[in-house]
Amino acid sequence: MNCFACVEYIIVALMLLSAILAVEWRDLLAAVVGMAAVSLFASLLFFMLQAPDVAMTEAAIGAALSGAVFIFAIKRTRRFETEEEEKPGWWVRW
């Protein structure tokens, strides 16, 4: 295994970690940052797969524009996912 394959493995691992964290975080702003990180690592992978035009488009649209649109939507709605109280009453999960 040469060093190029090591870089591939590291980038794929970071991308999957970012995806899992983006799904699991309850703060939606942090989730959007995780999604932008997934797009950034995917754009690095596109560049390593010899597709530089797709890498440019993914970095501009996926990491910047899509994250900005999500942040505008969060600004118009609410930031946190609603979560139940510590000891929920009988009406909470009705």
Q: Which residues bind another protein (CB under 8 A)?
A: 5, 8-9, 12, 15-16, 19-20, 22-23, 28, 31-32, 35, 38-39, 42, 45-46, 49-54, 57-58, 61-62, 65-66, 69-70, 72-74, 76-78, 81-82
Shortest separation between residue 3's beta carbon and another protein, angstroms: 14
Q: For the CA atoms of the chain, what is the radius of gyration?
A: 18
* Cα–Cα distance measured from residue 8 to residue 85, given in angstroms and rounded to the nearest whole number: 43
CB-CB contact of 38 with 22 (8 Å): yes
Nearer to another protein, 62 or 89 (CB): 62
- Report DSSP state, residue 2: -
